[in-house]
Amino acid sequence: MDISVVIPLKNEAESLPELEAWIRRVCDANGFSYEIIMVDDGSTDGSWKVIEGLKAANSAVRGIKFRRNYGKSAALHTGFQASEGEVVITMDADLQDSPDEIPELRRMIREEGYDLVSGWKKKRHDPLSKTIPTKLFNAVTRWMSGISLHDFNCGLKAYRGEVVKAIEVYGEMHRYIPVIAKWAGFTRIGEKVVEHRARKYGYTKFGGLERFINGPLDLMSISFVGKFGKRPMHFFGTLGLLSFFVGFVILVYLSIAKTVYKEYGIADRPLFYFGILALIIGTQLFLTGFIAEMINRNSSSRNAYLIEKEI
């Protein structure tokens, strides 16, 4: 199969028929074999009935319905695991992403050899309250990840099929899929300027004010997991040894001052308590790394999402 189009959605019943017809028209015009995977993330507006109707009219449509709302990352991860296409395209269900971009995105994956191509909404139809934080978020992510993308959170992306099978998207990590792909070894990451259309129906269902808090925390988390997820002792153990060494040197110095130079009042000096604190913190950090290493080596659990229906 040439293309899998994965669409996470929540309460987008009005836009789904138009989006499906648009994708079908583009794929048929280019002679692509395709599937459209719509992942219903706990909709309450009848979106699932619309998906069932689209499936009845077009066998290329596949639907997955979560029993409750898990979030965009869960919807993308589940869609990725269900996809069968050589190239996987993701887009939002609100008609702000244009399916006309599909042929060029596929060409960049197939012919230019990219593992992942991220859309760049250079001209956005969003208020300043959203665009300014987005620019700041993208700048920080570029600096921390070393990936030269202008728009990490763009929903319109293209992936080589093996990429989506090798990565795991959880929590709120959909914002950092290029970073996750890079840490998984897929380093050929490109970018394409794409059209950003004004929302036609309703309002955004994913995100909110909490993303300004969760975003930086998720970035720090994925950076840590990417570098030290398989070797936590290298992080905690190094910090622990440094702290323990500093504390040990301080206490040795104070002990010499007490026994050799007959200094009194050692226990009343702030340096004495700092040395003890450094020893304790160093020991705790080392033990944290040891325990994390044991858990990592014995853990085989993966995220599981309860799927109510699949067609």
Residues 195 and 187: their CA atoms lie apart, in Å, by 25
How would you classify residue 224: left for phi > 0, otherwise alpha for psi between -120 and 50, otherwise beta? alpha
Residues 295 and 169: their CA atoms lie apart, in Å, by 20
pLDDT band at 302 (very low <50, low <70, confident <90, very high): very low
Rounded to an integer, the average pLDDT of 81-99 is 94
pLDDT at position 208: 53
pLDDT at position 129: 60
Q: Of all residues in the chain, what percent carry a pLDDT higher than 90? A: 55
**Which tokens in the block code for residue 1?**
């199969």
* Residue bearing the bigger pLDDT, 38 or 213: 38
Neighbours of 92 (CB within 10 A): 21
Where would I find the beta strands (DSSP E) of 185-288?
Answer: 189-193
Evaluate the CA torsion angle 16, 39, 100, 202 in order and state its sign. positive
* Residue bearing the bigger pLDDT, 244 or 200: 244
pLDDT at position 128: 61
H or E segment and range at residue 211: helix 211-228
Q: Which of 18-32, 216-230, 292-306 has the highest mean pLDDT?
A: 18-32
H or E segment and range at residue 90: strand 87-90
Residues 42 and 34: their CA atoms lie apart, in Å, by 25
8 Å CB contact between 278 and 243: yes
What's the pTM? 0.75
Neighbours of 82 (CB within 10 A): 16
Q: Is the pLDDT of residue 288 over 80?
A: yes
Domain coordinates in residue numbering, the chain = 3-228, 232-298
Q: Residue-wise over 172-185: b if at least 16 C-beta within 10 A, else e?
A: bbbbbbbbbbbbee
**Which tokens in the block code for residue 307?**
């799927």
Question: Each residue of 44-61: pLDDT tens digit?
Answer: 989 999 999 999 999 999
**Which tokens in the block code for residue 271?**
């340096």
The CA–CA distances, whole Å, from 221 to 186, 209, 225, 271 equal 19, 19, 6, 34
Topology at the third CATH level for domain 3-228: Spore Coat Polysaccharide Biosynthesis Protein SpsA; Chain A (3.90.550)
Residues 179 and 74: their CA atoms lie apart, in Å, by 17
8 Å CB contact between 166 and 187: no
What count of residues does the chain have?
311
pLDDT at position 85: 95
Helix axes 232-259, 211-228, angle to 10 degrees: 80
Averaged pLDDT of the chain = 86
Question: Each residue of 173-196: pLDDT tens digit?
Answer: 888 899 889 888 899 999 999 988
Concatenated DSSP letters for 40-58?
A: E-S--SSHHHHHHHHHHH-
Evaluate the CA torsion angle 43, 45, 47, 52 in order and state its sign. positive
